[in-house]
């Protein structure tokens, strides 16, 4: 926690610490749950501890971390208070004996706050909560924020029924997200073994991927033999899905390291794709393709469940910079779409400026593009209108807000594209599908 609060990323930092610790099984899972849980609910924990501490900022960082972790156990994990207090007092006594009494006194008295501002209860900066409300409407913004405070399951994309059999042989509990949809498909997996030791992973039958990410890939609508440009392809997770569907994929990625990781992942899975290291703001000379995917760099505000440190670092200024980059990238991406072809814009973000704002920007500058519903529209929530929280009253599936031309945000106007809400372990995404005339 101390390292993450000083700029490190939680997932790799925790992984390194766990590998060095020698912990396994339940203990490893317990430390993971404590780390993620406390980082997700940091605002609530500090609010609960504040009345019991005179100068929390002056405490040694590891002592303050022990208070936060102990409070999380008691308030949100519902560990018996006597057990949590005893464990954290013993820990602090080994490192800072003079403050063991403070730990004992504070953790025995800590209580879950009954009254707190919404930004504290939802563990979001006030300005970011306002951004969620602008994009989703007030009711859905609260629902999304609360959803990302819950634990994240292990999601695997399976590429065939043999993967499910291999997981079951390893003693894993396997549950399909949507039974009967065919493959590739998302499965919720509970396994005692680490991912790298599961036969389904080692034999190239599965890859870690949130269901919302898989849905974004499937929304492009590709099939066998289709030519696809996967732009800002990252580590090739969606590239693998396109290849599994039989498409001929060219993946562009700015980072040579991420491109190399994508090659390695596809090799493990037994798929093939062409990989190019290139800057999309100045792309190489490529033949336009009938299917183009742009999963643009974004704020990641739809992934706060798995990346809670984002909300501690994101600023309004950096959000504006990201939106400016996305606008440049979508214009370049549109130039790579063949006549009659499809462009799918996706971001794992829940802000208006990164979603409908970018979609409107493209429609205003490229009149040959029009919106159409993504291939998988059943889970998409239309954005709030420019007037305010209209999404609160939206019922039923689909992307009804995608019909008709964008008008630049006139009062009460329908907004383009749709959101996947970050509920039940899923990440939040914005998707917009465009057709070139």
Beta pairing partners, 134:
none
- Backbone φ, ψ for residue 347 (5° rounding): -140, 140
Reading the block at residue 90, the tokens are 């013993």
Neighbours of 307 (CB within 10 A): 21
3-state helix, strand, coil in the chain (%, to 5): 45, 15, 40
Determine if residue 244 is left, alpha or beta; phi over 0 gives left, psi from -120 to 50 gives alpha, anything else beta: alpha
State the helix-helix crossing angle for 81-95 and 100-109, rounded to 10 degrees.
160
Beta pairing partners, 346:
295, 431
- Closest-CA residue to 341 (of 229, 212, 251): 229
Catalytic residue among 348, 380, 420, 432: 348
Pairing of strands 337-347, 289-295: parallel
75 neighbors 48 (Cβ within 8 angstroms): yes
Is residue 298 annotated as a catalytic residue, yes or no? no
Determine if residue 191 is left, alpha or beta; phi over 0 gives left, psi from -120 to 50 gives alpha, anything else beta: beta
Cite the active site residues: 348
């Amino acid at each position: 926690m101390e390292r993450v609060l000083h700029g490190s990323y939680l997932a790799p930092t925790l992984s390194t610490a766990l590998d060095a610790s020698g912990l396994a099984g339940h203990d490893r899972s317990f430390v993971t749950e404590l780390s993620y849980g406390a980082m997700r609910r940091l605002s609530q924990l500090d609010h609960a501890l504040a009345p019991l501490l005179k100068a929390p900022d002056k405490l040694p960082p590891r002592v303050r971390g022990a208070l936060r972790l102990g409070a999380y156990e008691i308030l949100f994990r519902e560990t018996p208070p006597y057990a949590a207090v005893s464990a954290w007092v013993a820990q602090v006594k080994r490192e800072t004996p003079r403050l063991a009494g403070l730990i004992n006194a504070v953790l025995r008295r800590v209580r879950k706050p009954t009254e707190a501002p919404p930004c504290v209860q939802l563990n979001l900066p006030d300005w970011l909560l306002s951004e969620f409300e602008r994009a989703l409407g007030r009711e859905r913004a609260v629902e999304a924020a609360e959803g990302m405070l819950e634990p994240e399951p292990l999601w695997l994309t399976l590429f065939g029924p043999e993967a499910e059999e291999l997981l079951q042989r390893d003693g894993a509990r396997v549950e399909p997200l949507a039974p009967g949809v065919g493959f590739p498909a998302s499965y919720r997996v509970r396994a005692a073994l680490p991912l790298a030791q599961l036969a389904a992973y080692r034999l190239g039958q599965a890859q870690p991927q949130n269901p919302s990410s898989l849905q974004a890939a499937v929304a492009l609508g590709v099939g066998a033999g289709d030519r696809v440009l996967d732009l800002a392809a990252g580590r090739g997770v969606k590239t693998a899905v396109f290849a599994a569907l039989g498409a001929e994929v060219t993946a562009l990625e700015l980072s040579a390291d991420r491109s190399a990781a994508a090659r390695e992942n596809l090799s493990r899975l037994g798929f093939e794709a062409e990989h190019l290291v290139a800057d999309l703001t100045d792309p190489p000379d490529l033949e336009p393709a009938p299917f183009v995917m742009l999963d643009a760099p974004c704020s990641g505000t739809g992934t706060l469940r798995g990346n809670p440190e984002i909300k501690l670092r994101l600023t309004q200024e950096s959000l504006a910079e990201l939106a400016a980059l996305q606008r440049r990238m979508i214009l370049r991406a549109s130039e790579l779409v063949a006549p009659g072809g499809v462009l799918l814009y996706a971001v794992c973000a829940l802000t208006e400026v990164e979603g409908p704002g970018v979609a409107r920007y493209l429609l205003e500058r490229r009149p040959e593009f029009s919106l159409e519903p993504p291939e998988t529209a059943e889970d998409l929530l239309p954005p709030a209108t420019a007037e305010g929280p209209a999404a609160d009253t939206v019922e039923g599936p689909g992307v009804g807000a995608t019909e008709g031309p964008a008008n630049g945000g006139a009062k009460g106007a329908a907004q383009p594209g749709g959101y996947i809400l970050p509920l039940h372990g899923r990440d939040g995404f914005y998707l917009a599908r465009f057709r070139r005339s």
